[in-house]
Amino acid sequence: MMSKVFGRSSNEELVNTVAELSDRLDEQNAGLISVNSNIVEINKMMEGFRQYVEGMEVRLHTRSEAAFNDMQKSFERGIETTLSIVRKEISRIGEVAKPQEVVKEIERQTENEKKTRALDANMVKLQEVVAEYLVNDLPLVRERSPYTHPQFTPQGDAVYREVTRFLTELAKINGRNKEYYTNASVYQRFFDRFNIKRYKRATVRTSDGKQFTTLLAAIIVNGHIKQYINFIKSLSNNGRD
């Protein structure tokens, strides 16, 4: 019943998250046990110091005040070293014993995993269109058209829509505005990368006669769409970092 309500994938994600949290807590407990053991050993060492000094105090004080003072200074240095060790152990306890930090780390990893899955799903849709229309070099622009401006074939319409969808979704996944990947500087990077002399926007018509003017349309008309798709794939891969 629960799988019908929430879906199998949601349950699996929840189980995996809980299991990871459990593993982290086990590591935390193991760390605490180790820290506590070290502190016990330090206490034993300090008690040994105390008993030794009490014995030496009686003997040295009766023989030489200077020797006793030297011993006292040595003991103080030993205490300072021991306290330094204790402070480090306490600091370790403070870091290990923060379950909220463990939860934050798991949440961060979960968000990264969600982003990776979203990027992968976005890429799969683009690849499907590439495989269907570009691998076989199907014509994207009509050779003959009754219109003044170039006209897309149905395949050209599909490629244009998919590239636009891909970039819009990529911006959404990365928390950007929809124009982030279609501004002038990004297009210039594309032209520079493939050593293409930059051209202006082109006016085209869709297969059903609708007219619009964009730089992406010009890229398709000029036959550079395969290079452009490789370019936007690299933008998506950079978004994983």
Residues 123 and 24 in one domain: no
- In this structure, the answer to whether residues 67 and 120 fall within a common structural domain is no
Q: Which of 97, 125, 144 is the last residue of a domain?
A: 97
- Evaluate whether residue 79 is within a structural domain: yes
Integer Cα distance of 157 and 205 in angstroms = 9
Asked whether residue 226 carries a pLDDT value surpassing 80, the answer given is yes
Res 2: pLDDT: 42
Establish if 108 belongs to a structural domain.
no
pTM over 0.85: no
Angle at 149 between CA 148 and CA 154, to 5 degrees: 120
Instruction: Please check whether residue 102 lies inside any domain of the structure.
Output: no
Q: Answer yes or no: do 136 and 232 share one domain.
A: yes
Residues 220 and 152 in one domain: yes
Residue ending a domain, choose from 71, 97, 123: 97
Is 119 in the same domain as 223?
yes
Q: How many domains is the chain partitioned into structurally?
A: 2
130 and 92 inside one domain: no
Return the pLDDT at 134: 92
pLDDT digits (tens, 9 = 90+) for 185-209: 999 999 999 999 999 999 999 999 8
Domain extent at residue 11: 2-97
Question: CA 180, 185, 188 angle in degrees (round to 5)?
Answer: 125
Q: Does residue 103 form part of some domain?
A: no
The residue that leads in pLDDT, 56 or 44, is: 44
Residue finishing a domain among 97, 125, 146: 97
- Give yes or no: residues 63 and 127 share one domain: no
* Residue 87 counted as domain residue: yes
Q: Tell me which of 50-59, 80-89, 155-164, 197-206 is least confident.
A: 50-59
226 and 155: one domain?
yes
Smallest CA-to-CA distance from 49 within 84, 66, 74 is with: 74
109 inside domain: no
- What is the tens place of the pLDDT at every residue in 78-106? 666 766 776 666 666 555 556 666 566 66
Distance CA 238, CA 241 (A): 6
In a domain, 104, yes or no: no
Query: What is d(CA 166, CA 234) in angstroms, rounded to the nearest whole number?
Result: 13
Q: Same domain, yes or no, for 145 and 234?
A: yes
